[in-house]
Amino acid sequence: MKTIIFDQTSLSDVIIIFFTQFNHLAATSLILAFIIYILSKSNRVYLLDFTCFLAPDSDRLPISTFIEHTEFSGKYNTISLDFQRKVVERSGIGNETCLPPGIHFLPFVYSLNATMEEVKTVFSLVKNLMTKHNINPRSIDILITNCSLTSPTPSLASLIINKFGLRSNVKSFNLSGMGCSAGILSISLARDLLKVHKNSLALILSMESMSSNVYQGNVKSMLLANCLFRMGGAGILLSNKK
Ligand SMILES: *[C@@H]1O[C@H](CO)[C@@H](O)[C@H](O)[C@H]1NC(C)=O
Ligand SMILES: *[C@@H]1O[C@H](CO)[C@@H](O)[C@H](O)[C@H]1NC(C)=O
Ligand SMILES: *[C@@H]1O[C@H](CO)[C@@H](O)[C@H](O)[C@H]1NC(C)=O
Ligand SMILES: CC(=O)N[C@H]1CO[C@H](CO)[C@@H](O)[C@@H]1O
């Protein structure tokens, strides 16, 4: 038979143990509470989803057609033509890449009209993203558009607000004329805005626009853009809602 005898010293031990344990408990729950507090305060930004723009098949321009069109345009010397051919053939650009309708014409059509038609075609991805997630355009709080060179008036942001019926007090930003870096900048801008504006939904439209931006000259570094860029765009939804 086992007996537990508490003498004076062991009793005080138990009390000490109880209090140290209790301290551990208290410390643990304090740390837990602190972690929960930090988590609830932390400015997390979530990527909900994104869609990429898929141009209609009618906009496909095989490499051979592109080369032929640049030859017919009469804007380039032989060295530039050879250079473009070499780069296009080795750059990984495929025969199924797309260029806007204006570039399919001979000679190319560079009008603002053609540019706006291209922009509106790319806008279809916003609709796809909204319907995919059943998002009411009026629930968007922040809108950022990103385009390399096309900077129309009214702005791309205003065009989207009007076309899709976003709220009139949506915080909108149109980054244009910053080249490729605008894509990264627009994500970073959205993140910073979401850290300040609680419970918000941000839509980013990042797009290319080729119609009026095909370079017609003979400077090699500028010619590279003709060979590497094609129609494209992405719609990205970010949020800080839990
Ligand atoms: C594009 O099509 C041409 C002609 O059919 C072919 O010779 C060439 O290899 C194709 N290029 C690519 C990248 O698929
Ligand atoms: C210019 O805009 C009109 C009306 O939207 C359209 O019918 C026409 O095809 C456009 N022209 C070009 C070159 O894109
Ligand atoms: C932002 O726009 C530029 C210019 O159109 C483009 O080159 C870049 O790829 C875009 N960013 C993203 C992430 O698509
Ligand atoms: C250059 C440009 O288009 N700026 C516009 C960006 O978007 C804001 C808000 O829609 C407009 O006020 C600017 O004019």
Please, what is the Cα angle at 135 between 129 and 167, to 5 degrees?
105
Atom of ligand 2 nearest to the CA of 111: 13
Residue nearest to atom 2 of ligand 3 (CA): 147
Q: Output the average pLDDT for the chain.
A: 85
Token look-up 């080249």 returns 179
Residue 141: per-residue pLDDT: 95
Token look-up 């950022």 returns 144
Residue nearest to atom 12 of ligand 1 (CA): 94
Residues having CB closer than 6 A to ligand 3 are: 146-148, 180, 182-183, 206-208, 234
Please name which ligand lies nearest the alpha carbon of 120.
2
Residue 73: per-residue pLDDT: 86
Please name which ligand lies nearest the alpha carbon of 234.
3
Strand partners, 173: 144
CA of residue 145 to ligand 3 center, whole Å: 10
Residue 50: per-residue pLDDT: 92
What tokens were used for 96?
A: 């199924």
**Mean pLDDT across 117-126:** 90
Residue nearest to atom 4 of ligand 1 (CA): 64
Beta strands in 41-86 (DSSP E): 46-52
- Better pLDDT: 86 or 35: 86
CA of residue 217 to ligand 1 center, whole Å: 26
Rounded Cα–Cα distance for residues 204 and 143 (Å): 6
**Mean pLDDT across 14-43:** 69
- pTM (2 decimals)? 0.75
Candidate from 143, 147, 174 with most ligand 4 atoms within 8 A of CB, to mutate: 174
Residue 208: per-residue pLDDT: 86
CA of residue 216 to ligand 1 center, whole Å: 25
Residue 143: per-residue pLDDT: 94
Phi-psi region of 97 (alpha: psi -120 to 50; beta: other; left: phi over 0): beta
pLDDT over threshold 70, residue 40: no
Rounded Cα–Cα distance for residues 178 and 176 (Å): 6
Residue 151 pLDDT grade (very low, low, confident, very high; cuts 50, 70, 90):
confident
pLDDT over threshold 70, residue 219: yes
* Dihedral over Cα of 86, 88, 90, 96: its sign: negative
